[in-house]
Structure 1
């Protein structure tokens, strides 16, 4: 306990990386007595501190932690919100899902690696928590084109196809089946491979 209160003092540092390190250490220690102290940093100004809070809470576990993680779904940092949602159950996330789908639509002009990675993170969430209401957006994504750097969209399209399998409803599998005949050869080939794996289960 003495060690824990010593480390808790790090959470009040004016240096963000010291706060982050304190949060990280308390998470490694699974210090459940420090949950409230860590929770005060869930809306820290620094994204890295917020991410560390969620990572530590996942290690500590318990119902109290869950309430703090829920508040992180409204973080101004989308990566924090995504990480928070990944740590929760479907019922906790369902009201936020329409916002998440809107984030998917926010691609700007020429694709870039960072943005596509971010969109794949979102698609992973949609696959985990989504239902028939999100399928049309995934299909729109399969039809996306880019004049430059179009190859960067390919892993994102594979993620969308995998998300259809994760959703697993009749409509989702129907959309996957349709994609096996997609006019884009890459999408069609990827969909055929994924469909084969799905049918072999």
Structure 2
């Protein structure tokens, strides 16, 4: 296909100009680049290799890029076919494209990628869900937190961006429930990390109920707790957030 040669042209300027034009062609481009993703020849590699050969990767990468720029939910059908590809670059490119597309179908695929075997892919997908998801997705992220506990801080941040009653309830409980905190404490996240992330997430939601949870937690800290065990940082974080809403 001549197009595959053009979109993988050695000149970056030529590639960018062609991709820009293709992204403006709507359904025609959707058909062309969906065909590329559905063509197994572009995804063949040696059995011992997880990554695609460079010449195939450039075509696949640029095809995914254009599908993202189209902002068409139908592009999700083609992207879905490759969300389990062994090349992490392919999956990462799909996350970026789905973030651009947004909408329910894109978010469904992002939820799948948020449970990917690769931590960087998971975190990218979770961040994307926080940006383009909606409050109704909070229960699924909370369930994911129980399965992927090492990603808890990233998930807390996403819940803060989504908002909604489910997110607020989970974050409020996490802030004060030591047993719940213990479940999510790992080598990557301490109790202090969890609490600070939770305070900031509730602050991002920023409604009266969320601010009340922050204030109640801050007031529950004794003087000694504020001095010891990271309490000073917790108290300062809570006070900074509450001060934004005082006026």
Q: Structure 1 length normalisation: TM-score?
A: 0.66
- Could you tell me how far 1:163 is from its partner in structure 2? 0.7
* Distance in 2, Cα, partners of 1:192 & 1:52: 39
* Distance in 2, Cα, partners of 1:91 & 1:156: 21
Q: Cα deviations across residues 75-115 of structure 1 (Å, max 9, x unaligned)?
A: 441436524523543156244133144257x3xxxxxxxx4
Contact 2:64-2:79 at 8 Å conserved across structures: no
* Distance in 2, Cα, partners of 1:151 & 1:89: 25
Which residue does the alignment assign to 2:242? Answer: 195
SS in 1 for 2:177: helix
Establish whether residue 90 from structure 1 lines up as the match of residue 134 from structure 2: yes
1:1-201 mapped onto 2 (5 Å cutoff): 2-4=2-4, 8=36, 11-14=42-45, 16-18=50-52, 21-30=58-67, 32=70, 35=75, 36-59=77-100, 61=101, 66-75=104-113, 76-77=115-116, 78-79=122-123, 81-83=125-127, 85-86=129-130, 88-90=132-134, 93-103=137-147, 106=149, 115=150, 118-130=151-163, 131=165, 132-134=168-170, 135-140=172-177, 154-181=192-219, 182=221, 183=225, 184-200=231-247
Q: Larger Rg: 1 or 2?
A: 2
Q: Which runs of 5+ in 2 are unaligned?
A: 9-35, 117-121, 226-230
Q: Structure 2 length normalisation: TM-score?
A: 0.56
* Distance in 2, Cα, partners of 1:22 & 1:54: 17
- How many pairs were matched up? 183
RMSD: 3.9
Contact 1:165-1:198 at 8 Å conserved across structures: no
